[in-house]
Amino acid sequence: MTTTAQRPIQTTTGEDMLIDALRGIKTKAELMLLQERLTSNPANPPLFNWVCNLLIERRISRGLAARVLSQLHSNESTN
């Protein structure tokens, strides 16, 4: 398991920015916009995977992860 001290500073900063963005999202449309912005950079992992990894690393709450993953999953089901 990787600890915060072992991560590159840029990665931690990017993840912190993502966590702040996820916390600030109020609507599904905002989440889809964030997902589109993240997929524009091929270096970023898919948002669903990124959120799962943040949850595994205990960097986000179960409630936040459940809300985001549920919205992402329901969006995939409708497409």
Residue 77: predicted pLDDT: 67
> How high is the pLDDT of residue 26?
93
Q: How high is the pLDDT of residue 14?
A: 83
Report whether 68 contacts 28 (CB < 8 A): no
Between 8 and 50, the more confident residue is 50
Between these two residues, 3 and 62, which has the higher pLDDT value?
A: 62
Q: How many angstroms separate the CA atoms of 21 and 25, rounded?
A: 6
Residue 10 in this model has a pLDDT that exceeds 60: no
How high is the pLDDT of residue 9? Answer: 45
Tokens of 57: 């690393």
Residue 48 is encoded by which pair of tokens?
Answer: 């669903």
pTM for the full predicted model: 0.78
Alpha-carbon distance of 18 to 11, in angstroms, equals 10
